[in-house]
Amino acid sequence: MRNEIDSKFYAGEIRMWKSARKEKSVAVIVEAKSDELFFQKFFNSSTTFFPVDGFQNAINVLQDVEKELLGILAIIDADFRHILKEEPASLNLFITDFHDVEMMTIAAKSWDEVISYHTQKTKLEKFQKQHSKSLKEYLMAMAHPIACIRFLNNQNNLGLSFKTMSKGQYIFLDYSKFIDKQRFCIDNEKLLETIENKSQKQNFFKNNPSLINELSNISQKEFNLFDFCNGHDVINMLSLALKKEIGNKNISGQELESFFIVAYRFDDFIQTHLYQELKKWEGRNPNLVLFNKDDPAETKKES
């Protein structure tokens, strides 16, 4: 299966690709097909993307090929790297401005476009008045306890699972199992149970009570939620909200993510630190061009 293919296979793929291409061709290693769909509309046609199933594969593949091949770079989700002050270990490795690509779209103007298109105005206004927060703020607050468990898992290597692979598709948590349908809020006990079941670790937290204390300590720390929370969590909960709370649509989180990708513009992208770092890479590799000729940043320079 594709998710079982190791980094050596992907590195071999890139070597074969590079040997058959012109020197000016660029290979961009990304974690998943959805990342390719996000970035490909910004990069020019001489760029080829290689989704390699996860950040660790992306890092391993880059390390395997970057010393012998020119024009190779990798873009991965930041995950908790901004929180932990971790910098990329290679000049050819780049991370997203926020926790992940999805969170980049949530932070941008694309959020307003998607929300305007999919929600019912009267329901949205009622929801925001009821909760005394904007929809985005409320969903980010809901994603916070999930992020705390993700962070605990990351720091302690607990082996908890928040998604599984089936037939080439990621299957995320069943958010409906831990969201109170009456109040549309997180039930923390059911959240822990859902993650235990997804991880096939029944009663994991009950059997490790010290982790509950550690989780409580994490929850009290203040982080930038765009760096801390997972965009998939926010968008999947938005999907549930659209069914009743703020709309009348049965649209999956995966479908919503596609809408966010389409709505995200080059004007949004050039405002990011990621774009600025990629332009520096381009400057270090003067024979290689990353972005389309209609790059608005370049147009502004010329004018």
Domain that holds residue 11: 2-97+272-302
- Same-domain check for residues 161 and 291: no
- Same-domain check for residues 76 and 92: yes
- Same-domain check for residues 119 and 254: yes
Rg (CA), the chain: 20
Mean pLDDT of 227-234: 98
Mean pLDDT of 272-289: 95
- Same-domain check for residues 140 and 216: yes
Count Cβ atoms within 10 A of the Cβ of residue 182 and give its class: 0-12 exposed, 13-18 middle, 19 or more buried: exposed
Residue 298 has pLDDT above 60, yes or no: no
Answer yes or no: are the C-beta atoms of 31 and 277 closer than 8 Å. Answer: no
Mean pLDDT of 113-136: 97
d(CA 248, CA 106) in angstroms, rounded, equals: 21
For residue 4, what pLDDT band results from cuts at 50, 70 and 90? Answer: very low
Q: What is the pLDDT of residue 165?
A: 79
Answer yes or no: are the C-beta atoms of 120 and 248 closer than 8 Å. Answer: yes
Residue 21 has pLDDT above 80, yes or no: no
pTM for this entry: 0.92
Mean pLDDT of 163-190: 90
For residue 27, what pLDDT band results from cuts at 50, 70 and 90? Answer: very high
- pLDDT averaged over every residue in the chain: 93
- Same-domain check for residues 230 and 179: yes
Mean pLDDT of 226-244: 97
d(CA 96, CA 252) in angstroms, rounded, equals: 24
Total domains present in the chain:
2
Query: Rounded to the nearest 10 degrees, how much is the dihedral formed by the CA atoms of 299, 301, 302, 303?
Result: 90
- Same-domain check for residues 20 and 107: no
Count Cβ atoms within 10 A of the Cβ of residue 143 and give its class: 0-12 exposed, 13-18 middle, 19 or more buried: buried
Residue 1 has pLDDT above 50, yes or no: no
- Same-domain check for residues 250 and 282: no
50-95 per-position pLDDT tens digit: 999 999 999 999 999 999 999 999 999 999 999 999 999 999 999 9
- Same-domain check for residues 255 and 287: no
Q: What is the pLDDT of residue 170?
A: 81
Query: Pairing mode, if any, of strands 163-166 and 169-172?
Result: antiparallel
Residue 116 has pLDDT above 60, yes or no: yes
- Same-domain check for residues 85 and 190: no
For residue 176, what pLDDT band results from cuts at 50, 70 and 90? Answer: very high
Residue 216 has pLDDT above 90, yes or no: yes
d(CA 75, CA 59) in angstroms, rounded, equals: 9
Residue 295 has pLDDT above 60, yes or no: no
Who contacts 129 (Cβ-Cβ below 8 Å, separation ≥6)?
Answer: none
Structure token pair of residue 47: 């760029």
Task: Tell me which H or E stretch contains 30.
Answer: strand 26-30
- Same-domain check for residues 107 and 249: yes
- Same-domain check for residues 118 and 143: yes
CA of 91: how far to CAs of 47, 61, 204, in Å?
A: 18, 14, 40
Residue 113 has pLDDT above 70, yes or no: yes
**Interhelix angle for 188-199 vs 135-156, to 10°?**
50
Mean pLDDT of 219-224: 97
Residue 151 has pLDDT above 80, yes or no: yes
- Same-domain check for residues 145 and 240: yes
